[in-house]
A and B are shown apart, each in its own frame.
Chain A
Amino acid sequence: MSRLPLAAFAAALLWLGYEAPRAACKECGGSVGAVLWVAFGVAFAALWLFHLRQARPVAEE
């Protein structure tokens, strides 16, 4: 699988992850949804980047 469809899929999920809690929680506006959106996105990116770093040749470190 190429990376582009997965990136689009992840972006769609993250956007919906922001919208769904915002729609469900009228009192807290979008703040909780935004926190979840950012937290899941940052964690996913951290895992992906760390995996790429670990897989590269040691000489490039």
Chain B
Amino acid sequence: MKKTPWWALALAGAWGLALLWVPADAAMGEPYRLLYMHVPFALCTYLGTLLGAGAALLHLRRREAEWDRQAQALLEPATLLAGLTLWTGSLWGRLTWGVWWTWDARLTSMLVLFLLLAGTHVLRDLAGGGPRGGRLAAVMAVAAALLVPVVHMSVYWWSTLHQEGTILVQDKPRMDGEMLWVLAAGVVAVAWWLLATAAARAKALAAEAAE
């Protein structure tokens, strides 16, 4: 029988606490529990994009296929996380704002980030894979990484419907302690998933290259 990955246990535990243990939010009620998915997905999209772009930069500089595989392995799950961020955000928006989508600065910049990440895979395929596809994907990955601070700061730079930051703020995080710990556990679990998935993919890509 196959083994359960440990990230899955960590994630089930964090989300179990989010659904059952932490109290409902005084202002937003039950729908706020979507935060325990939405925020880890968003933060780990940043993480995957930045790490993937770092590997892409090393590939552009050194022209080593290993860095290209690492970049691809990181950017694929980052793309899924960006899509899940948009999906959970849309669901949350429908429950609290009454709309599935609005052209708010945070939502729009996140959508552009998702499209740039998806674009890295499209470019790679259109170029037929190989070294040229890897270089084109790497350039777009760097562009995606440059957008990450814009996505994060968008709620401060423009007047938006999306609330300001809760965790990555200069002062103390604006959350109750027990809510914050459960959220932190979710961030760690999703980051664990990201790194485990990228490592498995890089191994599979390396095995294919060795054949």
Contacts and interface: CB of A to CB of B under 8 A. Distances in A.
Contacts of B8: 6, 44, 47-48
A25 B8 CA distance: 29
A46 B91 CA distance: 16
A43 B84 contact: yes
B68 to A, nearest CB: 14
A32 B37 CA distance: 15
B88 interface: yes
Q: Report the interface size class on chain B.
A: 35 or more
B195 to A, nearest CB: 11
A46 B198 CA distance: 15
**Of A4, A10, A13, A40, most B-chain CB atoms within 10 Å:** A40
Interface in B1-52: 1-5, 7-9, 11-12, 15-16, 18-20, 24, 29-31, 33-34, 37, 41
Contacts of B84: 43, 46
B197 A13 contact: no
Interface in B125-159: none
A32 B95 contact: yes
A34 B118 CA distance: 31
A52 B181 CA distance: 29
Q: Tell me the dominant secondary structure on chain B's binding face.
A: helix
Contacts, number: 107
Interface string A1-19: 1111010011001101100
A50 to B, nearest CB: 6
Contacts of B193: 47, 51
Q: Report the interface size class on chain A.
A: 35 or more
B60 to A, nearest CB: 23
B4 A6 contact: yes
Contacts of A48: 8
Contacts of A17: 16, 19-20
B88 A43 contact: yes
13 contacts: A2-B4, A6-B4, A10-B12, A24-B24, A36-B30, A36-B31, A39-B34, A39-B88, A44-B11, A51-B7, A58-B205, A58-B207, A59-B208
Interface of B: 1-5, 7-9, 11-12, 15-16, 18-20, 24, 29-31, 33-34, 37, 41, 73, 76-77, 80, 84, 88, 91, 95, 190, 193, 196-198, 200-201, 203-205, 207-208
What 9 A-B pairs are tightest by C-beta distance, nearest first? A17-B19, A55-B200, A58-B208, A54-B201, A13-B16, A21-B30, A32-B30, A6-B4, A1-B4
Given A6-B4, A36-B33, 13 more contacts: A4-B1, A6-B9, A14-B19, A32-B29, A35-B31, A35-B95, A44-B8, A46-B80, A51-B7, A54-B201, A55-B200, A55-B203, A58-B205
